[in-house]
Amino acid sequence: MLIDAMGIILADNGRVKLGELNDERALAATPFGGRYRIIDFMLSSMVNSGIKHIGILAETKYSSLMDHLGTGSHWDLDRLQQGLRIIPPYMQSDFFRSPSPQDLNGLYDFLKHSVQMHVVVAESNIISNINFTEFVKEHEASGADVTVMYNHDADTLGSPNVSLTFEDNKLVDLLIDPLNLTSDCSSLGAVVLTRSLLMDMLTQAISRSEVLFNTEFILEKYKELTIRGFENNDMTLRVNSLATYFSASMRLLESNILQKLFKAENRIYTKVKNESPARYLKGNHVSNSLISDGCDILGNVEDSVIFRGVKVGKHSKISNCIIMQDTVIRDGAELKNVIIDKDSVIRSGVRLQGSPDYPVVIRKGVIV
Amino acid sequence: MLIDAMGIILADNGRVKLGELNDERALAATPFGGRYRIIDFMLSSMVNSGIKHIGILAETKYSSLMDHLGTGSHWDLDRLQQGLRIIPPYMQSDFFRSPSPQDLNGLYDFLKHSVQMHVVVAESNIISNINFTEFVKEHEASGADVTVMYNHDADTLGSPNVSLTFEDNKLVDLLIDPLNLTSDCSSLGAVVLTRSLLMDMLTQAISRSEVLFNTEFILEKYKELTIRGFENNDMTLRVNSLATYFSASMRLLESNILQKLFKAENRIYTKVKNESPARYLKGNHVSNSLISDGCDILGNVEDSVIFRGVKVGKHSKISNCIIMQDTVIRDGAELKNVIIDKDSVIRSGVRLQGSPDYPVVIRKGVIV
Amino acid sequence: MPKQQMIAMILAGGQGSRLGVLTEYIAKPAVPFGSKYRIIDFALSNCTNSGIETVGVLTQYSPLELNSYIGNGYSWDLDRNLGGLSILPPYQSLEGSDWYKGTANSIYQNITFIDNHNPDYVLVLSGDHIYKQDYRQMLRAHIEAKAAATIAVREVPWEEASRFGIMNTDEEGNILEFEEKPANPKSNLASMGVYIFTWKTLRAHLIADENNPDSRNDFGQNIIPAMLADRETMLAFTFDGYWKDVGTIFSLWEANMDLLDRPQEINLQDAMWRIYSRSTLQPSHYIGENASIIDSILTDGVEVYGNVKHSIISSGAVVEEGAEIKDSILMPGAVVKKGCKIDKCIIGIDTIIGENVEVGVTVKDGRADFVNKKFCSDGITVFGSGLVIADNVKIMANSMFFPVDEGQTSDVILESTVLGII
Amino acid sequence: MPKQQMIAMILAGGQGSRLGVLTEYIAKPAVPFGSKYRIIDFALSNCTNSGIETVGVLTQYSPLELNSYIGNGYSWDLDRNLGGLSILPPYQSLEGSDWYKGTANSIYQNITFIDNHNPDYVLVLSGDHIYKQDYRQMLRAHIEAKAAATIAVREVPWEEASRFGIMNTDEEGNILEFEEKPANPKSNLASMGVYIFTWKTLRAHLIADENNPDSRNDFGQNIIPAMLADRETMLAFTFDGYWKDVGTIFSLWEANMDLLDRPQEINLQDAMWRIYSRSTLQPSHYIGENASIIDSILTDGVEVYGNVKHSIISSGAVVEEGAEIKDSILMPGAVVKKGCKIDKCIIGIDTIIGENVEVGVTVKDGRADFVNKKFCSDGITVFGSGLVIADNVKIMANSMFFPVDEGQTSDVILESTVLGII
């Protein structure tokens, strides 16, 4: 059945920062997996589930996010009535920020002018190809006030942010970043509730001058509301630190993860850049790597994720690295366990080496 | 020839406020002429001239403007590479505003990432159906640094904002809101210059911490630069005060003005609302008026402009009025020389009367 | 692309020959309706409002104006990257070239198109009916009944039942029998020409039907009876809103007049179920000093200086001073000059009626040489599009004015221009 | 809509029969090219990059895949509300129904479409040439010369000139004579099949041509000679960039190889003149542990575990471990299984080559029963789309594999599926 739900995606999460990668961009806008940004996964999951009215709640540093999202057309969300909206008043300069009680008014107004029965609120830092149809359907059937998506985390990555304890499938406790796990259920950062209930919750928060909104804001009401769990068994990668960002990227090189994320019936959409095909030129050797359009490969690449338009010079050696868009690796450079942000240049002969737990990060647009 | 120019439209003008109509909306977003907003005229003129990369510089109160513009699709400006952009960092909450030297950086970045040779910078408060092709072509041919569009104002409306004095068609003096006219040339608020020159001017302004940008910002450089004039003879209505807004609206009822603005080969685009056709029901009498889709007319309307979705009740009398969208005039109300903003209700038996020079203005969404 | 639960196929290829001159150059679904619409706006808006995002429009006959009107589907929010609106004309292939032979054949020829969208269900619609329907409700019934086909039906007066395709059903609404225009109807449930099929089942039946040389490849005549014969689960879904097939001059006129006389039935002001149409880029309409307008609907770009009563005036039409219009439909850009008396007329796109022309049942001594009982009845007179009618002529009711062929002359039709589109 | 200075009409209706199995189910402009493109991407991207916003694509033969690929024009930024991309198939009208008879007739049948956009100039293009051209430069020359027609030409080697339509010009570039494949060419300026016409003039000539029963309604054979005979101003506009008509198997293979051998000539990395294509929604491509790739281009969704040399691998294609690919083109979704030796092959969409298959000039004792000299030369072997080739077969070069008809069996072609689109 056509799903009667709208979506809210949170572009930032106060507890998750990926170091210098987020200096000038929202968490949601962090490049990931060769040609994507982190938000592409949640956005595509919603679109593929038939959720076609989606608000993005960005706090600050929205500029690269807006550049990525454009009119929403790459997700087929450039619509006359509904589609994609960046929600004011978060929409402000990258340069100044003054939270005010009115911050939640923008979200409230967006909800008020929508027509769907349900709202799926989701964090953006979950890398998965989720179908929300069953989630919403089961929420409707259960009669719960709120349903939260969780998994058992066993074969997923990273420590849970939010550990959930259920009794009779009713949420009875919630621990944020716990040191000792008392439950094996961890939130997947997605909840569903009726639009009217969310508006009621916001009204109260606004009158109390609260300004923060995230999924915990909703889950913390577990004493007043009936909050049920919905277990999701999809392959999921959590990105909640630089180390988990790095290892999640590397896990894309595992064949079954690549297939499940990207070659399922539902595809992950992203901004199309019309790069030319990648060229493999004399002297290259590539092994166990993801390579993107627009690359020129003349050197050695192994166990790495190479974004669009990267130039890899002769005799260079790249191992266990993430090299972002339009970066140039000059002849003979050697890199191991390194993340290089967009538009950088690594000069001839430069050697950089991090460890898998503490990868070296090179900022956007620098020459090393 | 295809025009090699981009556009910048200034959504606000510090010296022009239309009273309560601009309390919650930018000047550019002021409703005009039954189904338009003021900016539609400049925006459509640019699009019809082949200018398809347009930045809108809004200072504050951008919300209704953004709602009107959407993805730009109604002006066919929802494009992958170019199209319509609201320029940050002006893009901020309606509720707070802190001008900073960075304000002009957003404009500078927008220009830097564009590819066109020329920039047409235009104020939004000129109601006309202009073709910029000749303007740009003559600017190119003349070799001037800047060319400014002007007219002789004789048969147009309102006092000039900016009076220009030319010698040998070179700008030698500029008076802003002069008490005594020393020239019969008045600026039409549109200038053309190369993108690189404008970027140079902005760089200097930013380094001096200037924050204001408008066409006078450019014209005031007449001592350093060669600024030439381009006379435009199109039918033009200037909106620079509430009184001129009112009288410009009324002049739309003149047949030749209606034809020239709206029935020329080039059309004025606006947001399409899919209202049903207007219904004329028993008891109505309408004379010399513009009426829009979605209206139900049961009363008397003369010499007025009625926007979309207005309900005019039985035995009501509307004379020389502007009634904006979705307002309800209840049975028997009487209005003369009144401007009623959107979503208002005038109750039965209410009588309001202003004068043509001082029309009564009723705010948006009130019940009188 | 994401899997589509249901896609819509709109049959828009028929000539609509009973509309005479009105469909001489344009397909029936593109005929103007209700002041600011075209007939197909209703089917397209129903799809959009029902959340259907992949729509194929099957065209064949005079599709230029229709294609041009539909464009990329933008006006109905159907300009999608994934799915969206596709125009599906006949085409040539290695197996040869075929025009669409019948409604079922037109879907058969587009099996590949449908397969590419991989839907569970296919909604088949006519492009020339005036109604507002939420197809989601019908789909829900179809899924619950696990039906192979669900056919929308409405109750018609028993005395009219023999003019329709009639469904005989059991108490649960399962169709037991389908009779095309039965002499002695056993039921008054008439098919609306709105079908939901389970695609896998329909696909098999389309292929079987194509291989049957005796078939006329029509849904009503062949596919539905064949599915019944195969004992597929077939559901009748009762629809009780306004519905009208505007297939004749009289029904087209009547459906327009219904907007004035029964506005609550096909409520165009319903903000929850907008009927979308392509914008004409015209300003608000202008009413002159001495005009009078009553019981009428008008839209953008109209100019009225004369008297309009109980009529439908479309965008950009002009009624000059002293002209009197009654019970009539002016299509976009039609001009009625000074002093005319126009009664029960349909005036085509951009047609100009000269000064002091009189048409209608009260005209006793008018020209009878354009009377056309094949198409016109009930006193309705029809002017084709792009005509210029001479001044001062008086015309009998029930006339129809076709363009004059090149080389011919007429003292009434001064000019007939090639139809300009949009 | 705003007046358009120039609109483009792209001829995309031909069968492209010299491409054999590659165009059996899809029109030539939709044939995959250069790892991530379709042939028509070049014409469409040239239009967009030249600022042309109204583009008609004239289709006729097997247009489904082409229509599906083009969609609403979004990928080329041609999904405009005003103008934009329109697919223009043949249609029926009261005057009868006609398939397009020739290139000129296809434009003739769309005169109304062009008139509606009211352009000063019309650009007529082929949808099956590989080149990058800024049509604005040509338009400027056309306007300055006040020409009725401007024809893009390029210098070809004198010894090849007799294979082309040759323009004989004066010193200013005015065309004095046009000779189709002259035995003794007087010039080496060959037409590229890119025309700019002043619409008013072309319109008159199209109507005259249509009324001439002896005409084949072709631009090269009829319209251009007739305009010359009428002493219209006809300009030759010399283009000196890369240009290739990919009308044969060999030229299609060669143009693909040119991307590897002469990458600077049709530079695909030029950010100022992007060639747009429809996104396949695939992830970055994956290179396995033991792969080796040299002198090749690859795109999204590809997986390579074997050895690829001097080849073009399209989206979603898979090269399994130990397979060796050389001088070949894998179209989207093609799979080459373990141990294959593939030399100078074109492998169609979604075709699967079984394990240990060997193809090429070095295969001495291979199957000769698929050799097809009508289409194949120079050692090139072509597999159609949607085929499954048996394991362990050895195949002689110059073979072509067509789908097996229903009921037939083959020990080499195990399966041939209906072509899936996009």
Q: Do B291 and C285 touch (CB under 8 A)?
A: yes
Give the separation between CA C33 and CA C42, rounded to whole angstroms.
10
Strand partners, C358: C341, C394
Would you say residue B266 lies in a domain? Answer: no
Nearest to B269 among C281, C289, C296 (CB): C281
In the prediction, which pLDDT does B91 show?
Answer: 39
CA dihedral D211, D212, D218, D219 (to 10 degrees): -80
Give the Cβ contact number of residue C171 at 10 Å: 5
C140 contact residues in A (CB cutoff 8 A): 1
Mean pLDDT of chain C: 92
d(CA A260, CA A275): 25
In one-letter notation, the amino acid at residue B322 is I
A 80-119 near C (Cβ less than 8 A): 80-81
pLDDT at D340 over 90: yes
Chain D partners of C75 at a C-beta cutoff of 8 Å?
Answer: 81
CA–CA gap between residue B31 and residue B26 (Å, rounded): 10
Residue A257 lies in a domain: yes
How far does the CA of residue C317 sit from the closest CA of chain A (Å)?
28
Q: Report how many Cβ contacts below 8 Å link chain A to chain C.
A: 26
C82 contact A CB<8A: yes
CB distance from C277 to chain B under 8 Å?
A: yes
Say yes or no: D74 contacts chain C, CB-CB below 8 A. yes
Q: Is C112 on the interface with D (CB under 8 A)?
A: yes
Task: Determine, for residues B94 and A93 on separate chains, whether the beta-carbon distance falls below 8 Å.
Answer: no
D 44-63 residues with CB below 8 A of C?
59-63
Same domain, A96 and A165: yes
The segments of chain C whose pLDDT lies below 50 read 420-422
Are residue B226 and residue B298 in the same domain, yes or no? no
Written as tens digits, the pLDDT of chain B (368 aa) is 568 999 999 998 877 889 889 888 889 999 999 999 999 999 999 999 999 999 998 776 677 888 899 889 999 999 888 899 887 654 333 333 444 445 677 888 889 989 999 999 999 999 999 999 999 999 999 999 999 999 987 445 456 578 899 999 999 998 887 777 778 888 999 999 999 999 999 998 888 877 778 898 899 999 999 999 999 999 999 898 899 999 999 999 999 999 999 988 899 999 999 999 999 999 999 999 999 999 999 999 999 999 999 999 999 999 999 999 999 999 999 999 999 999 999 999 999 999 988 999 999 999 98
- Interface check for C77 against chain D (CB to CB < 8 A): the answer is no
Q: What pLDDT does residue B63 have?
A: 74
Q: Is the Cβ–Cβ distance between A85 and B71 less than 8 Å? A: no
Q: Per this entry, what is the length of chain C?
A: 422
- Asked if C33 is an interface residue toward chain D (Cβ–Cβ < 8 A), one would say no
Do residue A242 and residue A307 come from a single domain?
no
Measure CA B47 to chain center. Answer: 15
Question: What's the pLDDT score for residue C97?
Answer: 62
- Contact yes or no for C420 and D116 at CB 8 A: yes
User: How many whole angstroms separate alpha carbon C245 and alpha carbon C247?
Assistant: 6
Mean pLDDT (chain D) is: 92
For residue B3, the chain D residue with the least C-alpha distance is D51
CA distance C320 to C301: 14
The answer to whether B267 contacts D80, with C-beta atoms less than 8 Å apart, is no
What is the crossing angle of helices B103-112 and B195-207, to 10°? 150
Read off φ and ψ for residue B66, nearest 5 degrees.
Answer: -65, -40
Minimum distance, in Å, between the CA of residue D178 and any CA atom of chain B: 29
Within a 10 A sphere around the Cβ of D107, how many other Cβ atoms? Answer: 27
- What residues of D are in contact with residue C68 (Cβ under 8 Å)? 113, 116
pLDDT tens digits for range D182-210? 999 999 999 999 999 999 999 999 999 99
Q: Does B173 touch chain D (CB under 8 A)?
A: no
Q: How many CB pairs under 8 A join C and D?
A: 96
Same domain, A101 and A136: yes
- Encode burial over B118-127: b for 16+ CB neighbours within 10 A, e otherwise: bbbbbbbbbb
Among chain C residues, CA nearest to B288: C288
Domain finish residue from B233, B261, B289:
B261
- Please tell me the predicted confidence (pLDDT) of residue B99: 44
Overall domain count for chain A = 2
Taking the CA of residue A352 and the nearest CA in chain C, the distance in Å comes to 41
A274 found inside a domain: no
CATH number of the domain residue A170 falls in: 3.90.550.10
Output the CA torsion A232→A237→A240→A241 (10° steps).
Answer: 160
Q: How confident is the model at residue D17 (pLDDT cuts 50, 70, 90)?
A: confident
Q: What per-residue confidence (pLDDT) applies to C15?
A: 74
pLDDT at A88: 60
Among D74, D87, D116, beta carbon nearest to C81: D74
Q: Count Cβ atoms below 10 Å from residue A212 Cβ, excluding itself.
A: 12
- pTM of the full structure: 0.89
- Percent of chain D whose predicted confidence (pLDDT) is above 90: 76
Q: Does C81 touch chain A (CB under 8 A)?
A: yes
Span D253-287, pLDDT tens digits: 999 999 999 999 999 999 889 999 999 899 999 99
> pLDDT-based confidence at A207, cuts 50/70/90?
confident
pLDDT above 80 (res A99): no
User: Distance between CA D28 and CA D17 in Å, rounded?
Assistant: 8
Name the closest residue on chain D to residue B46, using Cα atoms: D2
Please answer whether residues A26 and A65 qualify as being in contact, where contact means their C-beta atoms are separated by less than 8 angstroms.
yes
Q: What is residue B160's predicted lDDT score, i.e. its pLDDT?
A: 58
Residue that terminates a domain, selected from B261, B290, B318: B261
Say yes or no: B117 and B201 in one domain: yes
Q: Looking at the domain assignment, is residue A368 inside a domain?
A: no
DSSP string for B275-324: PPPEEE-TT-EEESEEE-TT-EE-SEEES-EE-TT-EE-TT-EEES-EE-
Q: How far is CA D255 from the centre of its chain?
A: 10
Question: What dihedral do alpha carbons B42, B48, B49, B53 form, nearest 10°?
Answer: 70
On whether residue A348 sits in a domain, the answer given is: yes
pLDDT at A93: 34
Q: Are residues B9 and B132 in the same domain?
A: yes
Distance CA C302, CA D291 (A): 70
Contact A96 B100 (CB under 8 A): yes
Q: Count the helices and strands in chain B (H runs, E runs).
A: 8, 28
Higher pLDDT, D97 or A65: A65
Contacts of D74 in chain A (CB under 8 A): 73
User: B175 with B321, same domain?
Assistant: no
Cα angle, residue A159 at apex, residues A158 and A160 outer, rounded to 5°: 115
Residues in chain D: 422
Q: Which residues of B touch A71 (CB under 8 A)?
A: 71-73, 78, 83
Name the β-bridge partners of C149: C197, C234
Is residue A91's pLDDT more than 50? no
Structure tokens at B18: 């239309």
Say yes or no for a CB contact (<8 Å) between C72 and D89. no
Looking at the domain assignment, is residue A271 inside a domain? no
Question: Do B82 and B206 belong to one domain?
Answer: yes
The pLDDT value given to residue B97: 40
State the CB neighbour count (10 A cutoff) for residue D184.
7
The CA-CA-CA angle for residues D277, D282, D285, to 5°, reads: 100
CB-hemisphere CA count at 13 Å for B81? 20
Q: Which of B50, B79, B267 sits opposite D77 (nearest CB)?
A: B79
Residue A200 lies in a domain: yes
Indicate if B318 and B194 belong to the same structural domain. no
Q: Which of A73, A83, A91 sits opposite B91 (nearest CB)?
A: A91
The amino acid at C224: I
Burial class for C414, CB neighbours closer than 10 Å (0-12, 13-18, 19+)? middle
Q: Please indicate, yes or no, whether residues A290 and A257 belong to a single structural domain of this protein.
A: no
Is the per-residue pLDDT at D420 higher than 50?
A: no
Beta strand B278-280 with C296-298 is: antiparallel
First to last CA, chain C: 33
Q: Which residue has the tokens 């009112």?
A: B246
How does pLDDT run across A252-273, given as a tens digit for each residue? 999 999 999 998 889 999 999 9
Distance CA C131, CA D25 (A): 39
pLDDT for the residue numbered D422: 36
Contacts of A100 in chain B (CB under 8 A): 93, 95-96
Q: Can you give the CATH number for the domain in which B331 is found?
A: 2.160.10.10
Question: Out of A78, A89, A91, whose CB is closest to B95?
Answer: A89
Distances (CA, A) of C12 to A282, C92, C103, C128, D94: 57, 19, 10, 7, 16
Contact status of C120 with chain A (Cβ, < 8 Å): no
| Interface contact A79-C82, CB threshold 8 A | no
Q: Confirm or reject contact between B73 and chain C (CB < 8 A).
A: yes
* B contact chains, 3+ CB pairs < 8 A: A, C, D
Q: What is the pLDDT of residue A58?
A: 79
Determine the average pLDDT of the residues in D314-320: 97
The HSE-up count of residue A27 (CA atoms within 13 Å, CB side) is 26
d(CA A24, CA A341): 11
Cα separation, D149 vs C124, in Å, equals 47
Q: Is the pLDDT of residue D232 over 60?
A: yes
Q: Are B50 and B186 contained in the same domain?
A: yes
Name the amino acid, one letter, at A105.
Answer: N
CB contact under 8 A, B81 and D1: no
* Chosen domain end from B231, B261, B291: B261
D-proximal residues of B, 210-229, CB under 8 Å: none
- Confirm or reject contact between D279 and chain B (CB < 8 A): no
Sign of the four-CA dihedral D332, D347, D306, A257: positive
Q: How far apart are the first and last CA of chain A?
A: 54
| Domain, as residue range, for A349 | 279-362
Q: Chain centroid to CA A159: how far? A: 16
- Report the 3 state secondary structure along D28-93: HHHCEECCCEECHHHHHHHHHHCCCCEEEEECCECCHHHHHHHCCCHHHCCCCCCCEEEEECCCEE
Evaluate whether C74 touches C422 at the Cβ level (below 8 Å).
Answer: no
Closest residue on chain A to B60 (Cα): A92
Q: How far apart are CA C328 and CA B251, in angstroms?
A: 32
DSSP conformation letters of D87-145: EE---EETTEE----SHHHHHHTTHHHHHHH--SEEEEEESSEEE---HHHHHHHHHHT
**Record: contact D2-B81, CB cut-off 8 A:** no
CA atoms within 13 A on the CB side of A238: 23
Whether residue B326 lies inside any domain: the answer is yes
Query: Are A221 and A306 in the same domain?
Result: no
What's the Rg (C-alpha) of chain B? 21
Cβ contact, residue pair A279, D297, below 8 Å: yes
CA distance C151 to chain A (A): 19
Mutation pick from C273, C286, C295, C318 vs chain B, by most beta carbons of B within 10 Å, is C286
